[in-house]
């Protein structure tokens, strides 16, 4: 696999194989095992690998891939295929796309796949970036894609007051300060991205997810949680720039978290390495929601890079509504009937010795 730049400024990974390997099958197998940015945009089958007079691989003699195969065009046969073919064509800048044409063999890449996902969702189709990588063609993607069902619940922005979930109430009861209780993720920005770009995509993230704007008021020992409207948090106030990431810089960035004033996000941009550290209070993020946030971050960058308006996919059920549904469920008779059994479990003496603060650590 080598990085080719057959068009100025457009580097793409291209794989070369010998034997009877199927290019599409090879890409599908790689997509199952590798992150998207490591999967070749195309796989070329050769009779033999070109060698230099010294017997080493001659990379300059490797041919450029053919990204189009106009002879095998097959028209869409269903409304979903027709919609996906149109999205493929728009994203790739082509006049038409056959349902058997591979998105990546036509010149697609990981950034453009995010555009496919964003446009598919805007059209009411449920699609993930991984689906594009694994399925590749319109026909195969149409088989796994689903039509968004508005009947599963109202789409809401999740703003306003919301009830505290059990894990939130546990956090409130922890002895000691919790203002800096966070999860942090460091992401590598694409080449050429600068601080101004980071502000734009970070603002899109803050405006899309209400929990990133959460405000926590302590009223007589009880937390009151409110998610204000989009636009109430300025990404520029959340972001600081440093030359490079360091423990000291991360500690300082973390110290800016303040749920009482609605500062749930603190970001650190390393100018020399193009790294972005995103620090989010644990009230607003967990291991599962990071997947959503990182996907939205990539979609926002793809839209920004292509000069398009930033429009992240709308969600289904907000955290606020989910928390309300959870509270309602907890008070249903069939759940309340289990209270005595759980009280008995809680009253059972522990088999382990009590915590010894002098020697045990948290």
Between residues 336 and 39, the one the model is more confident about: 336
Q: What is the pLDDT of residue 84?
A: 92
Strands 182-188 and 215-219: unpaired
Q: Name the residue with higher pLDDT: 358 or 110.
A: 358
8 A C-beta contact, residue 318 and residue 284: no
**Ranges 120-124, 267-271, 300-304, most confident:** 267-271
Q: Tell me the average pLDDT across 44-70.
A: 85
3-class state of residue 18 by DSSP: strand
Residue 83 contacts by C-beta under 8 Å, 6 or more apart in sequence?
120, 123, 125
Q: How far apart are CA 101 and CA 105, in angstroms?
A: 7
pLDDT the model gives residue 151? 40
Strand bridging mode 10-18 / 2-7: antiparallel
What's the CA gap between 165 and 216, in Å, rounded?
A: 13
Contacts of residue 326, defined as CB under 8 A and 6 or more positions apart, other chains included, come to 163, 165
**Residue that wins the pLDDT comparison between 196 and 354:** 196
pLDDT in tens, 280-338: 999 999 988 998 899 889 888 888 887 878 888 776 789 999 999 999 999 999 999 99
Nearest residue to 292 via CA among 129, 107, 170:
129
Q: What is the dihedral of CA 247, 250, 252, 254, to 10 degrees?
A: -130
**Residue 6 CA, distance from chain mean position:** 30
- Over pLDDT 70: what percentage of the chain? 94
Mean pLDDT, the chain, whole residue set: 88
Q: Stretch 138-146: mean pLDDT, rounded?
A: 88
Antiparallel, parallel or unpaired: β 265-270 and 239-242: parallel
Residue 152 has pLDDT above 80, yes or no: no
**CA separation for the pair 239, 257 (Å, rounded):** 12
What is the average per-residue pLDDT within 181-210?
Answer: 95
């Amino acid at each position: 696999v080598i990085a080719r730049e057959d068009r100025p400024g457009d580097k793409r990974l291209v794989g070369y194989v010998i034997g009877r390997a199927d290019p599409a099958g090879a890409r599908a197998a790689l997509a199952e095992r590798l992150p998207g940015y490591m999967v070749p945009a195309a796989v070329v089958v050769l009779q033999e690998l070109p060698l230099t007079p010294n017997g080493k691989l001659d990379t300059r003699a490797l041919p450029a891939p053919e990204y189009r195969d106009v002879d095998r065009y097959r028209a869409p046969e269903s409304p979903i295929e027709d919609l996906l073919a149109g999205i493929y064509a728009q994203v790739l800048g082509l006049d038409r796309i056959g349902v058997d044409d591979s998105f990546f063999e036509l010149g697609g890449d990981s950034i453009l796949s995010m555009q496919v996902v964003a446009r598919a969702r805007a059209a009411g189709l449920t699609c993930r970036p991984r689906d594009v990588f694994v399925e590749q063609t319109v026909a195969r993607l149409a088989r796994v894609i689903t039509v968004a069902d508005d009947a599963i619940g109202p789409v809401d922005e999740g703003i306003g007051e919301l009830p505290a979930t059990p894990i939130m109430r546990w956090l409130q009861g922890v002895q000691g300060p919790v203002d800096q209780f966070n999860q942090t993720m460091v992401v590598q920005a694409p080449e050429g991205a600068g601080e101004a770009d980071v502000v734009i995509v970070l603002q899109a993230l803050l405006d899309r997810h209400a929990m990133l704007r959460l405000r926590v008021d302590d009223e007589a020992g009880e937390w009151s949680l409110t998610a204000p409207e989009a636009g109430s948090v300025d990404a520029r106030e959340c972001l600081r720039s440093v030359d490079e990431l360091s423990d000291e810089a991360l500690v300082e960035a973390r110290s800016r978290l303040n749920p009482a004033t609605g500062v749930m996000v603190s970001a650190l941009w390393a100018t020399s390495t193009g790294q972005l550290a995103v620090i989010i209070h644990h009230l607003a993020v967990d291991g599962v929601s990071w997947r959503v946030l990182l996907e939205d971050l990539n979609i926002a960058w793809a839209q920004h890079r292509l000069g398009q308006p930033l429009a992240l996919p709308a969600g289904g059920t907000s955290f606020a509504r989910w928390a309300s549904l959870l509270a309602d469920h907890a008070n249903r008779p069939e759940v309340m009937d289990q209270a005595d059994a759980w009280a008995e479990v809680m009253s059972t003496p522990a088999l382990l010795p009590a915590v010894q603060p002098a020697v045990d650590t948290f």
